[in-house]
Each structure stands twice: as structure tokens, then as C-alpha cells.
């Protein structure tokens, strides 16, 4: 069986009760082939419960981040226990904004990934390079370093609950987008790295998403690439384009 296409919507720090109702109502009214397409949305933490209560079962709900402790004196952090109590089964980890703005290292990201998996959550683990790293031909080195940190702390069976999201930092929210071939090249390198450093089985089963200014205009071309198994979408997930992108796979 092939890898199920996954479309993730990362709302980042954007929401209101009115917006939640509008976006979730639109998703609930939309149809897609659930045998071939999986949809995951990640609202801000205060809205997780509301989104989960409103969304139809075919829409999975994800946190945008968690901490690696169950509870305690960690002001402002999000516990896996909170998520499980709310019926949330996914979390995004290692997003470039967490790495860059909040200075989360490869090691911290890896620790969070291992912890989340141990708590029974599925993880969208993000990797990607900055513009200066791409221009210095360091894309593979940066992405492999980030992957290696995660792989070091995982058991082979953990990978069944990991989705890798490749997000070239220079293309996030900038309107710039990697060409389908540029994206495919990195995705293929990631899959080869998994094959060489984890296992053939993990390389074949692990879904690799593309994230970086995905839109209704470019999603059709991107999704034709053999190693692109879905998208992690930011801005477009807050508009009607999100449903268009979901159904790109069925077009």
C-alpha cells in the first residue's frame, strides 16, 4: 500500500472563535477521499478543544508544540497530558519558527519528538535550511544534521508515527517557493538518508511533506513529485484555498 497523502494546516498564532467556526465549518462541508488523503489541522493551543469539538472525525487536530515533561513549574508550556485529555493525537515539532525565534536546538527538538512518541502522539517533525545555507550548498548537510538528531533518539518502531516535513526556511511566508524539482530533489535525499541510516522499511513508509508557501496555484505541480507525500501549509490553511489544496490530490 502506498503512502497516504497528508495535508496539514498550521494556523500558527492566528485564530478567533469566529475564525475557528468559519474554517471548521468549511472543512466539515468539504469532501475528500479519506482512503487516500489525511487532513490534520493545528490551531493555537487555546482553541484546540473548540476545534476538536467542532471538527468532523475525518479532520485530525494537532498541537503546534509540546514540552518534554508531563507537568510542573514550566510556565507557558504545553503538556502531552493536556493534549490526551482533549483527544488531540498529533503535534508539530521542530518548526523553523521554534528553532529560529525560540532558539530550540536540534537536541531539544529530538528530545521533544522522542517524548511525544513515548506519550502516544503522532509527530510532524520539521527540517529545513535557511537561504544562506542553501546558497552555500549546505541544504543536505543541514537537513541531515537535523534528521540525525531525531533518528538518534528513536527506536525503529517509532517511525510509524513520524511524518517528516521539509520546509525550506527561505520559502516560508515569503511568497517564494521551491520549484517542484527543487522540492523533489531534497525529498529524495531525505528518503535516501532514511534508507541508509535507519532502514529500507522506514524510508519507504515515512511520509515526507513539503512546506513553504504552498498555495492553490502551485500545489498541483508539487504533488505530482514521487517523493512529496503531502503538504504542511501555513497561510493558505486560513483561507478557502486549503480545501482546494486538499482536493488537488483527487483532481
Looking at the annotation, which residues are catalytic? 95, 167
Residue with cell 485529555: 85
Cell triple for 51? 476545534
Cell triple for 102? 525560540
- Cα–Cα nearest to 189, from 227, 152, 155, 135: 227
Half-sphere exposure of 131 (CA within 13 A, CB side): 7
Give the ranges where the chain is alpha helix by DSSP (H).
17-29, 48-54, 80-86, 96-100, 106-118, 131-135, 139-152, 180-197, 200-205, 219-222, 241-246
DSSP-derived secondary structure letter, 136: T
CA distance 73 to 110: 22
Hey, is 60 helix, strand or coil? strand
- Cα–Cα nearest to 28, from 52, 4, 44: 52
CA distance 125 to 209: 10
CA distance 76 to 99: 17
Crossing angle of helices 180-197/139-152, nearest 10°? 40
Residue 2: how many other CB atoms lie within 10 Å: 8
Amino acid at each position: 500500500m502506498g503512502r497516504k497523502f497528508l495535508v496539514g494546516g498550521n494556523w500558527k498564532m492566528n485564530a478567533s472563535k469566529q475564525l475557528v467556526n468559519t474554517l471548521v465549518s468549511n472543512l466539515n462541508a468539504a469532501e475528500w477521499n479519506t482512503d487516500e488523503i489525511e487532513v490534520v489541522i493545528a490551531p493555537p493551543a487555546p482553541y484546540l478543544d473548540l476545534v476538536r469539538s467542532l471538527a468532523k472525525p475525518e479532520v485530525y487536530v494537532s498541537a503546534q508544540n509540546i514540552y518534554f515533561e508531563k507537568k510542573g513549574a514550566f510556565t507557558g508550556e504545553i503538556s502531552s497530558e493536556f493534549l490526551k485529555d482533549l483527544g488531540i493525537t498529533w503535534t508539530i515539532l521542530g518548526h523553523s519558527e521554534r528553532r529560529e525565534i525560540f532558539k530550540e536546538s536540534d537536541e531539544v527538538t529530538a528530545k521533544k519528538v522522542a517524548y511525544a512518541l513515548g506519550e502516544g502522539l503522532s509527530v510532524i517533525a520539521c527540517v529545513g535550511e535557511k537561504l544562506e545555507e542553501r546558497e552555500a550548498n549546505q541544504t543536505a548537510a543541514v537537513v541531515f544534521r537535523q534528521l540525525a538528531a531525531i533518528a538518534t533518539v528513536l527506536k525503529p518502531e517509532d517511525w510509524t508515527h513520524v511524518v517528516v516535513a521539509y520546509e525550506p526556511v527561505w520559502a516560508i511566508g515569503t511568497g517564494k517557493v521551491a520549484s517542484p524539482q527543487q522540492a523533489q530533489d531534497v525529498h529524495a535525499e531525505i528518503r535516501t538518508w532514511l534508507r541508509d541510516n535507519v532502514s529500507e522499511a522506514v524510508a519507504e513508509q515515512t511520509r515526507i511533506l513539503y512546506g513553504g508557501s504552498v498555495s492553490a496555484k502551485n500545489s498541483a505541480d508539487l504533488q505530482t513529485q514521487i517523493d512529496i507525500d503531502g503538504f504542511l501549509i501555513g497561510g493558505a490553511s486560513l483561507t478557502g484555498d486549503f480545501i482546494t489544496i486538499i482536493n488537488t490530490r483527487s483532481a
